[in-house]
Amino acid sequence: MAGRTLKLIVDLQKDVSKSRKIPTFVPKKEPRHKSHLLHFFDQPFREIITGIEPVKERLIPSAQSKIDNKTKPLGSLGRLEELAVQLCLIQGTLEPEIRRKALLVFAGDHGVTEEGVSAYPSEVTYQMVLNFLRGGAAINVLCRHNAIEMRVVDIGVKGTFEDHPLLWKKKVRNGTRNFLLQSALTAEEATQAIQRGMEVFAEFGGSERIDALGLGDMGIGNTTASTAIICAITGLAPELATGRGTGVDNKALEHKIKVIKKALEFHEPDANDPLDVIQKVGGLEIAGIAGAVLAAAGSGAAVLLDGVISTAGGLIAYLINPAIKGYLVAGHRSVEPAQRAALSYMGLNPLLNLNMRLGEGTGAALAINLLEASAKIMKEMASFEEAGVSREKDET
């Protein structure tokens, strides 16, 4: 399998599920904008992709100076300070705000479940979407708790749903094909799914700006597809990248690894072509997430990735246009080892490490609170001068 030249870095943190060291990979060079892929997209979507501007790095000195001058020892708020500066760069102001928080859960089925890669039957995807619409899932609870607007996107679930105010019907097809036997999607289907992800974000935003977007997923079999995507792009071996997903036992895990390995050997996806990767071994919800990431970054929103599935979608978007990187926030470190490699590849450091592997956007929903807190610290916390507090003594 051809892959980008990579520098191998050994991550001393171990996969909690298998007590093994997980290598992570960092590309020697930032990926280039994939301008040769733009002809696959319709004109309005090409404009979104090419219109993404890097975050305002010119504000780094002034943003850092402002957070350093708050009434605290330098760096004592840790990652919250980094987030505050990042928000300044994203929003182009030293007075960042998180006024509107939103979360999209993309749902789709996977043909590769025919190979027995999940502990749950594929009909659980449909059943869980109904659970989302009734408000009974973990992500519903967390979104209510954190005042996050949530919508569910049927981009590829087998079956049909009645109309519901929380549901967007954006189905491309009834699940992917079994990628052990053939490509998961056609080129047209993969492109269409990415475009529908962009459409959904635009419709969700409407006339009121979204400041922070969390991304979640639902799809039995999607850790298999996500791991295949990440292996194809980073070059990480399936033996090191594959996790237990919904909780498969050791025998099923070995089988899952073999399925991913055989699929990658069969398709030989091009690591430098994100559309080729997602077409051959991807998923509709992953493609939809990639589209939403592109559109959100284009609008100037902070984008919170969740676990391995939304991270795989973020990785696809990153390869399409690397300018999105400054808008990305890794909500948490998943137990799934492939996520670690993908985050390292993009240069992202997750905020939380709670041994979570549920998906749905749960880690992103928890992390949005930290993003909001960092904005308030930057905007509302007093400086030494404003508070009349003495600074640290100069020992020189």
Residues noted as catalytic: 360
Give the distance from CA 268 to its chain's centroid: 24
Relative orientation angle of helices 187-205 and 284-299, to the nearest 10 degrees: 40
Neighbours of 9 (CB within 10 A): 11
Query: ∠ CA 321-324-328 to the nearest 5 degrees?
Result: 145
Q: Residue for token digits 């289907």?
A: 189
Separation of alpha carbons 206 and 119, rounded Å? 39
Kind and range of the H or E run holding 216: strand 212-218
Give helix 284-299 / helix 308-320 axis angle, nearest 10°.
Answer: 60
One-character DSSP codes across 144-155: HHTT-EEEEEEE
Q: How many residues does the chain have?
A: 396
Spatial separation of the C-alpha atoms in residues 58 and 77, rounded to whole Å: 23
DSSP state letter for 70: B
Sequence-separated (6 or more) residues with CB below 8 Å from residue 82: none
Tokens at 156, concatenated: 């590829």
